[in-house]
Structure 1
Amino acid sequence: MAIPDRNHAARSLHRIGYYRLSAFGYPYRDFCPIPTPGGEADGRVRCDKFKEGTTFDYVIDFYLFDKALRMELLDAIERIEVAVRTAMIEVLGELGPHAHRDRRSYKDRFSEKDANGDTPLGLFIEGLDQHFKRSKEDFAKHFKLKYFGPPPIWIEAGTWTWGNLTHIIAHLSDKNKMAIAERIHPDLPMKTFASWITALNDVRNSCAHHARTWNKPLVNSPGVPSKTTFGQLDHLRKSRMGDDAPTKKIYSAIVVMIFMLRQFYPGTEWHVRLREMILTQYFPREIHPQTAGFPEGWEHEAIWS
């Protein structure tokens, strides 16, 4: 790797750390043959040698771009999280102020006892109670000071994390899950909706922990509804870059974010800003948009218009 400014490189390593920064240099590492006992090569693997022409600035530029991308994704995820949480409050709140504590709101298996007599729902509620008890939010302090008993869902949900939200949605009864999905779009299948929430939770965690996001495979891929349900999502089914799952890269999660944002905020221009950011970014061949799951001509797809 060429390092034109060694002082700048040293400062960067002290600020960011070698191990974290090395993740952004990984795509620039070359492939080396794997030797076999017979001395012949058997496949290739990334090695410590960098590709010819790689500079330290390539790594820093990738790091800064990924950071800017994560900031944009967190902006969208925050709005989606608040809107989905509100939809859940409305659906469960209609059943009662403590419907999120009622086993009837969930699938039967969420109330099955284990060997110790505990249920997943009981343990989950216990965790929520501890979280609310430790909360320093003014509304939580006010409730604890003036009232007794557990808080109603419209108050307690204010202290939930995206992880809490994901866990609840995963175990809700089909009826409740469907009711929330319908508030996003009448034709959105509940299973697709649940997979979106799980996938976005993974993206949110990656962004919040400052992890490389651009060309890293998703832990959980978002589902795609049946063909023609939402025509602007159909292109997600097309295989690209040799993936066995077309939706396992960040592109599919971004498309889902755009779709959800447009349902809650019809006038949003978040996708326009992100589109321009990507189109104007210089990408060395090792990290071009296709490595993040972006198909050829992605910018002309209807979802980006």
Structure 2
Amino acid sequence: MTEYDRPYLNFEEQVALMASRGLDCSGCDAAAALSRIGYYRLSAYTYVFREPLALDKQSDTPWQYRSAAFMPGYKLNHALDLYKFDQGLRLLCLEALKTLEVGLRVQVAYVLGKRDRFGHSNREALDPDACAKPARDRDGDMFDYWLRRYHELKRQAQSEDFVRHYTLKYNDKLPVWVAVEVMDFGAITRLFSLLNRNDQNTIARQWGVKDGRTLHTWLLVLGNLRNICAHHSRLWNKHLTYDAGRINPNIVESDLAHVTSELNSKKVYLPLALIAYLVVRIDPTSNWPRALRTKVKQKFPDVPGVSAASDMDFPEGWENEALWNYQPARG
């Protein structure tokens, strides 16, 4: 294992290093851009401008596919344009994912609460098989793990007036329609995974999906996307951790039909399509699909060798699909 021996460089020296490797840093205040964004963060956007390694070099270092030298014709401004686009894309996604998270809280509380006011903490109100699955690298089963996580979130929310009210007046027990308000996206997704199949399917059908397990898979994908956005990571050409798989056309409505063909399910287009599909079913007044279409179609930067099709897997003619032309209902 090689010891790290790269020297500290100030912002001007970082600019000089990129320029020495062939990146055109003229036309902008490059040092100011690096002081604002950071060399390493920006390198995620300049990486695609670098010369590919020869195949024999790639096999020696399989985690690295490009050399330090930049291909001719690339500018630092190209990376800054990609960074700005990506930043806007993440903010747009967070807006829709907020709607999804709140909507999921409402539906889980509404459906589970009808069965049991305290169903989130009652194993008997949930799916016995899902609850009994071993919790990998943790003590107990998945219900035990869920309960520890829920109590941790409740403890963190103790300063909230509504939590203190229920803690003091009702012996520290929160009904599910209150409890969901202390849950983050990961927690509410975890609780959804423990619901019995009928409850999962009831919620999924509200959102145009005929199978609750499929919706759970989507929630895992979108939770991964949310974490990327919330932590300000690169999204534009990301290879996602979770795989939504192929969409079964028999369990969704026609405006999602175009993504049932072969698409790279770990590229960004598919989860964006899932967001567009779900958000208008949760909030029919939402203009999010059209806003996304405008963002990608009109504002994707003009960078050589980079496109929404090649790097995000947007299919040809995507902007004409009904999914992206949804007419919002009047509020």
Aligned with residue 15 of structure 1, among 27, 32, 36: 36
With structure 1 as the length reference, what TM-score do the two structures score?
0.88
Identity rate, percent:
28
Say if 2:50 and 2:68, in contact at 8 Å, map to a contact too. Answer: yes
Map of 1:110-125 to 2, 5 A cutoff?
110-111=131-132, 118-125=140-147
Q: Shift in Å at residue 223 of structure 1?
A: 4.4
Equivalent in the alignment of 1:41? none
Equivalent AA in structure 1 for residue 68 of structure 2: D
Equivalent AA in structure 2 for residue 280 of structure 1: Q
Equivalent AA in structure 1 for residue 259 of structure 2: L
Equivalent in the alignment of 1:273? 291
Q: 2: CA distance between counterparts of 1:172 and 1:113?
A: 16
Q: 1: CA distance between counterparts of 2:168 and 2:270?
A: 45
Equivalent in the alignment of 2:269? 251
Equivalent in the alignment of 1:198? 220
Q: Shift in Å at residue 134 of structure 1?
A: 2.1
Q: Shift in Å at residue 224 of structure 1?
A: 4.6
After superposing the two structures, state which structure 1 stretch, 168-177 or 197-206, moved more.
168-177
Equivalent AA in structure 2 for residue 289 of structure 1: A
Distance 1:261 1:111, change over 3 A: same
Q: 2: CA distance between counterparts of 1:130 and 1:238?
A: 42
Map of 1:217-232 to 2, 5 A cutoff?
217-227=239-249, 229-232=252-255
Q: Shift in Å at residue 268 of structure 1?
A: 1.8
Distance 1:13 1:107, change over 3 A: farther
Q: 1: CA distance between counterparts of 2:162 and 2:245?
A: 36
Distance 1:182 1:28, change over 3 A: same
Distance 1:292 1:112, change over 3 A: closer
Q: 1: CA distance between counterparts of 2:171 and 2:83?
A: 49
Q: Shift in Å at residue 17 of structure 1?
A: 1.6
Aligned with residue 49 of structure 1, among 63, 69, 78: 69
Q: Shift in Å at residue 106 of structure 1?
A: 2.3
Number of residue pairs matched by the alignment: 291
SS of 2:167 mapped into structure 1: helix
Unaligned 5+ residue runs, structure 1? 37-43, 241-245
Equivalent in the alignment of 2:151? 129
1:168 has 2:191 as partner: yes
Distance 1:148 1:271, change over 3 A: same
Equivalent AA in structure 2 for residue 28 of structure 1: F
SS of 1:49 mapped into structure 2: strand
After superposing the two structures, state which structure 1 stretch, 124-133 or 277-286, moved more.
277-286
Q: 2: CA distance between counterparts of 1:129 and 1:218?
A: 30
Q: Shift in Å at residue 199 of structure 1?
A: 0.7
Equivalent in the alignment of 2:12? none
After superposition, the CA RMSD in angstroms is: 2.3
SS of 2:266 mapped into structure 1: coil
Equivalent in the alignment of 1:79? 99
Say if 2:146 and 2:191, in contact at 8 Å, map to a contact too. Answer: no
Equivalent AA in structure 2 for residue 94 of structure 1: K
